[in-house]
């Protein structure tokens, strides 16, 4: 059996970057994402320090017409806001006790005709869901191999290491997935970065078509939907279910701001690559546990 937590030297700058609440999350400027170039090969990790915008595949994607320098904050249409408000009502009903939910209803918060007022209500609901996630995500220092856990991870492509800190000036938002010992469905490979729950700005059961070049949260969804933080349990239980505006997928999506707190991998074959990521970042390494795979190995 592998040790429950493989810890090595930590990067003080990364580990000391802690956020304390929803207001801080909304204001965070440090963050990161890299969607690696399909044509790049696994070479010297230092090569990634010379990362260029044109190397990212989404800059040339057919459905992207704006360069990161040209991104402007847009206003939401009343129809989009109304749709988001209806979803926010369902989120609130799922998370609050009956009396608290009725209090919000009696104040007419889910019947707002004014766009700004409706967006204020949606922000309140996101804050409620945000706190729900804080209580249910496993902090890296609390993780024990073989024990139940829930983590927000950004899976990377094997053979293409990078340091998130080096590219945070390009990508403010990172697309991640919620994983547990029973729900390991990743966008890329079984190695990458663990992100703290404090950075969450949106979450849904499937692919949200996130615009990772966005410069503020109003623009993070490519289809101009209002970002919502769906409840933790809903995202976990309905992983892979269409969001209605993203792409069909078998994974969920959690969008975060901020830098990662650790490196993760599942399979021993990826342990050496995890060490390469550690050389680039100075982050701790965590070997995550998958219940189904452990059972297969025993059988």
Other C-beta atoms closer than 10 Å to the C-beta of 82 total 15
Q: How much of the chain exceeds pLDDT 90, in percent?
A: 63
In sequence order, what are the residues at sequence separation of 6 or more whose Cβ sits closer than 8 angstroms to the Cβ of residue 124? 109
Summarize the confidence of residues 56-74 as an average pLDDT.
37
* pLDDT higher than 90, residue 52: no
Q: Name beta bridge partners: 215.
A: none
Q: Name beta bridge partners: 178.
A: 152
- Span 139-161, pLDDT tens digits: 999 999 999 999 999 999 999 99
Tokens of 171: 């990508």
Among the residues of 96-185, which ranges form H helices? 98-106, 115-136
* pLDDT higher than 70, residue 13: no
* pLDDT higher than 50, residue 100: yes
At 82, is the pLDDT very low, low, confident or very high (cuts 50, 70, 90)?
very high
Would you say 128 and 100 are in contact if contact means Cβ atoms under 8 Å apart?
A: no
**The 150-155 sheet, strands edge to edge:** 200-204, 253-256, 174-180, 150-155, 191-195, 262-265, 284-287
CA distance 292 to 299: 11
Give the distance, in angstroms, between the CA of residue 4 and the centroid of all CA atoms in the same chain: 24
Would you say 254 and 202 are in contact if contact means Cβ atoms under 8 Å apart?
A: yes
**Looking only at Cα atoms, what is the longest distance across the chain?**
61
Among the residues of 28-114, which ranges form H helices? 78-95, 98-106
* pLDDT higher than 60, residue 85: yes
At 297, is the pLDDT very low, low, confident or very high (cuts 50, 70, 90)?
low
Query: Mean pLDDT score of the chain, rounded to an integer?
Result: 79
Would you say 195 and 202 are in contact if contact means Cβ atoms under 8 Å apart?
A: no
Tokens of 50: 């010379």
More confident of the two residues 245 and 56: 245
Strand, coil or helix: 187: coil
- What is the pLDDT, as a whole number, of residue 245? 84
More confident of the two residues 287 and 39: 287
Tokens of 3: 């040790």
Least confident of 32-41, 116-125, 271-280: 32-41
Smallest CA-to-CA distance from 272 within 187, 181, 153, 159 is with 159
Least confident of 70-74, 94-98, 189-193, 248-252: 70-74
- Span 212-267, pLDDT tens digits: 888 888 889 988 899 999 999 999 999 999 998 888 899 999 999 999 999 999 99
Describe the crossing of helices 78-95 and 115-136 by its angle, rounded to 10 degrees. Answer: 40
Q: How much of the chain exceeds pLDDT 70, in percent?
A: 73
- What is the pLDDT, as a whole number, of residue 143? 97
In sequence order, what are the residues at sequence separation of 6 or more whose Cβ sits closer than 8 angstroms to the Cβ of residue 135? none
- Span 112-143, pLDDT tens digits: 889 999 999 999 999 999 999 999 999 999 99
pTM for the full model? 0.75
* pLDDT higher than 80, residue 296: no
- What is the pLDDT, as a whole number, of residue 129? 98
- What is the pLDDT, as a whole number, of residue 246? 82
- Span 170-208, pLDDT tens digits: 888 999 999 999 999 999 999 999 999 999 999 999 999
- What is the pLDDT, as a whole number, of residue 50? 37
CA distance 175 to 169: 16
* pLDDT higher than 60, residue 42: no
CA distance 38 to 32: 19
């Amino acid at each position: 059996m592998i040790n429950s937590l493989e810890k090595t030297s930590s990067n003080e700058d990364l580990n000391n970057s802690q956020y304390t609440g929803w207001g801080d999350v909304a204001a965070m400027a440090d963050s990161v994402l890299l969607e690696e170039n399909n044509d790049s090969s696994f070479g010297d990790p230092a090569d990634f320090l010379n990362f260029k915008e044109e190397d990212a595949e989404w800059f040339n994607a057919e459905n992207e017409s704006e360069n990161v320098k040209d991104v402007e904050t847009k206003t939401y249409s009343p129809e989009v806001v109304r749709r988001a408000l209806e979803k926010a009502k369902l989120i609130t009903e799922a998370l609050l006790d009956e009396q608290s939910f009725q209090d919000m209803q009696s104040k007419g918060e889910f019947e707002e005709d004014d766009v700004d007022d409706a967006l204020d209500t949606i922000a309140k609901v996101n804050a409620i869901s945000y706190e729900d996630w804080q209580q249910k995500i496993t902090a890296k220092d609390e993780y024990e191999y073989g024990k139940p856990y829930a983590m927000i991870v950004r899976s990377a492509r094997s053979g293409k290491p990078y340091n998130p800190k080096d590219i945070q000036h390009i990508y403010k938002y990172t697309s991640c997935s919620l994983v547990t010992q029973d729900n390991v469905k990743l966008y890329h490979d079984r190695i990458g970065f663990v992100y703290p729950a404090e950075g969450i700005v949106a979450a849904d059961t499937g692919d949200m078509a996130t615009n990772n070049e966005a410069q503020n949260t109003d623009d993070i969804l490519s289809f101009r939907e209002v970002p919502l933080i769906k409840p933790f349990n809903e995202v976990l239980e309905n992983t892979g279910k269409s969001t209605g505006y993203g792409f069909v997928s078998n994974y969920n999506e959690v969008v975060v701001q901020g830098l990662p707190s650790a490196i993760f991998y599942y399979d021993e074959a990826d342990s050496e690559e995890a060490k390469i990521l550690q050389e680039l970042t100075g982050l701790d390494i965590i070997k995550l546990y998958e219940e189904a795979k452990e059972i297969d190995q025993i059988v």
